[in-house]
Chain A
């Protein structure tokens, strides 16, 4: 049964990756990252259940906290981006172009 949970977690993680690499909308990209975090959380909790050890739960909580911090910062950046360009497109940023 645990294998099913873990497989679901992998599926969600892969969907998150797909979202990150194929979409240009900042919000979608951001939420795809959140999806990946959640997939990881699911794996943590499933494995915690498997080993009956609650460290996994604690880690998942920490991940949530980090996600919250990330959300705060990322959204601030998004606001800046929008203020600056009026767009929510990641392709607007191309200063790294060689």
Chain B
């Protein structure tokens, strides 16, 4: 029962965070709202017995990636004048809702056709470091390596791009 209440709490918080993200004017506010979403998602992961992912979500996402974003926002020292004034924001949001609703409905329909299951804690190391690691390095070795190369390339690319003095016209 507790897990159900926790789910609803986390879900509400994450949705609020997401709304905050898309509605806030200054990116810094949005980033902070997004951290809230990420943290509550981490809580949901733990409810789903994904203990490793719970940790990673906090460390990598809410920790590393978000701090990078926030760092950049601060680094750019964005003044209110630099922020685009989005006059038709509400119109776009409304129109966007109209466009998105059929997608959501379709996805919900698909979900409702899936088998239902409960979320009790699973034993024998489900979602633990060791078992995930075994799957990762045994069955997913090649994708793992590819992702590592991707990260390397992204790193180099980021250095090259950000290091440029001027954009070439």
Contacts and interface: CB of A to CB of B under 8 A. Distances in A.
A/B touching: CB–CB < 8 A: yes
Given A18-B22, A31-B69, A71-B68, 5 more contacts: A1-B119, A14-B103, A45-B45, A61-B53, A65-B147
B37 A38 contact: yes
Interface of A: 1-8, 10-19, 21-28, 30-32, 34-35, 38, 41-42, 45-46, 48-50, 52, 54-55, 57-58, 60-62, 64-73, 75-80, 82-84, 86-89, 91
A2 B119 contact: yes
Q: Ordered nearest first, which 6 A-B pairs have the shortest CB separation?
A: A27-B27, A69-B154, A22-B92, A19-B22, A89-B84, A76-B161
Contact of B83 (A72, A84, A88): A88
Nearest to B47: A5
Contacts of A30: 69
A66 B167 CA distance: 26
Contacts of B52: 57
Contacts, number: 242
Nearest to B86: A24
A68 B119 contact: no
19 contacts: A2-B117, A3-B114, A7-B108, A12-B14, A23-B86, A31-B69, A35-B18, A45-B48, A49-B49, A50-B117, A57-B132, A62-B147, A66-B147, A68-B60, A68-B64, A69-B147, A75-B162, A76-B159, A88-B82
The secondary-structure label for the interface of chain A is helix
Interface residues of B, number: 89
B116 A28 contact: no
Interface in B125-151: 126-127, 131-132, 135-136, 139-140, 143-144, 147-148, 150-151
Contacts of A52: 122, 126
What does DSSP make chain B's interface, helix, strand, loop or mixed? Answer: helix
Interface string B72-112: 11011010001110100100110111011101100110011
Interface of B: 4, 7, 11, 14-15, 18-19, 21-22, 24, 27, 30-31, 34, 37-38, 41, 44-45, 48-50, 52-53, 56-57, 60-61, 64-65, 68-69, 72-73, 75-76, 78, 82-84, 86, 89, 92-93, 95-97, 99-101, 103-104, 107-108, 111-112, 114-119, 122, 126-127, 131-132, 135-136, 139-140, 143-144, 147-148, 150-151, 153-155, 157-162, 164, 166-167
